Amino acid sequence: MTAPSNVPGSPRNAIRPHDVLKSRSGRARKFAISDGVPVEVLESGPSVAARVATLASRLTIRPVLAVGSYVPDLPWPWSLIDLASRVLLPVSATVRETVSLPNASAQLVRAPGVLPADGSRRMILYFHGGAFLTCGANSHGRLVEALSKFADSPVLVVNYRLLPKHSVGMALDDCHDAYQWLRRRGYEPDQIVLAGDSAGGYLALSLAQRLQEVGEEPAALVAISPLLQLAKEYKQAHPNIKTDAMFPARAFDALVELVASAAEKNTADGKPEEIYEPLEHIKPGLPRTLIHVSGSEVLLHDAQLAASRLAAVGVPAEVRVWPGQVHDFQLTAPLLPEAVRSLRQIGEYIREATGQG
């Protein structure tokens, strides 16, 4: 596992010059060349505002998750988070359109000034976090709006089916349905960027692997504080389990229990759904990948492991580590300066990956 550089903003392993290749649609695309080692950059910070956010999370969210993790099967009102977020979303000129999928819905988001989703330019397919259990397009509204602005792209946010009623495999099916909706809309794979935060990172990588089986490669994959490995032992043994301002060790026990229980109920031909570990299926040809993660959160383990395995098979992989931040700190944009800076970097990466300026 690689360690961050001790110089803020400096790459641990610099990317060599880009090659410019032609996509199937004739547009030039830039691809970073991998030499088998992931690029890892240590960002500056944390700011005073970030320190306050981390302390607030440690005093509020972490204790709630600690209690809830002992009784995960109780009917917790997780859906209220997204419903409440709809009320709290500020009024803006952002365009939001509901899209119907076979078993779920999605929201097509365009920040002011972004051109309509007509299949002619780039598109971000976004999978929200929330431990496969909660949140949605409303809870992630500000993050997605900022991403749309910085990437100059519409964003399709999938309201996939959630635990405990539905399985992770069913959520992945909904994400695949959203991708197919974009393809029918006229988007080519090299125009589409898969992105997600927390559990959404798992869905993004798993979908990229499903698409790889049918010969389709999206332009890039972007993951924010991603959960990329369902196995709990390595995270619970990671040093950051003591510094994570959101997740106690027991939270990962509860997550595994919920995922396994839902999978057991989702049967096909009399067999329960298998638990899928995307990091065990890394192959050459996956999309170039950018990961942003807090240096203090336990999911740093997943981020660094994923980047190492991707780079080892020739997939350009970059990890940007943000010291002292809370998990998924990009959700606090525009309140935290680091959140805005992170989303701006992601937007620039997406523009480069799609080769459309």
| CA trace torsion 272, 299, 77, 343 (10° rounding) | -120
Which pLDDT belongs to residue 32?
A: 52
198 tagged catalytic: yes
**Residue 64 scores a pLDDT above 50:** yes
* 288 contacts 190 by C-beta, under 8 angstroms: no
Q: Bigger pLDDT: 58 or 9? A: 58
Active-site residue among 139, 198, 225, 294? Answer: 198
* Cβ partners under 8 Å of residue 246, min gap 6: 57, 58, 61, 62, 65, 297, 326, 327
- Name the phi and psi angles at 295, rounded to 5: -75, -10
- Name the phi and psi angles at 132, rounded to 5: 60, 10
Identify the helix (H) or strand (E) that includes residue 268.
strand 267-268
Alpha-carbon gap, residue 132 to 163, rounded angstroms: 6
What mean pLDDT is predicted for residues 109-125? 96
Q: What single-letter amino acid sits at 147?
A: L
Secondary structure (3-state) at 349:
helix
* 158 contacts 197 by C-beta, under 8 angstroms: no
Q: Kindly report which listed range (15-19, 46-50, 152-156) carries the lowest average pLDDT score.
A: 15-19
Active-site residue among 327, 338, 342, 352? Answer: 327
- Kindly indicate the confidence band of residue 84, based on its pLDDT and cuts at 50, 70 and 90: confident
**Residue 99 scores a pLDDT above 50:** yes
- Kindly indicate the confidence band of residue 156, based on its pLDDT and cuts at 50, 70 and 90: very high
Q: Tell me which residue of 134, 168, 141 sits closest to 157, measured CA to CA.
A: 141
The tokens for 226 are 């991603």
Secondary structure (3-state) at 279:
helix
297 tagged catalytic: yes
Q: In the 8-state DSSP scheme, what is residue 74?
A: S
Which pLDDT belongs to residue 13?
A: 43
166 tagged catalytic: no
* 278 contacts 205 by C-beta, under 8 angstroms: yes
Active-site residue among 40, 145, 273, 297? Answer: 297
The tokens for 203 are 């869905």
- Name the phi and psi angles at 274, rounded to 5: -80, 145
First CA to last CA distance, the chain = 34
- Kindly indicate the confidence band of residue 342, based on its pLDDT and cuts at 50, 70 and 90: very high
* Cβ partners under 8 Å of residue 327, min gap 6: 57, 198, 225, 244, 245, 246, 247, 294, 297, 299
- Kindly indicate the confidence band of residue 9, based on its pLDDT and cuts at 50, 70 and 90: very low
Which pLDDT belongs to residue 125?
A: 98
Q: Tell me which residue of 166, 159, 164, 211 sits closest to 189, measured CA to CA.
A: 211
The structure's pTM equals 0.90
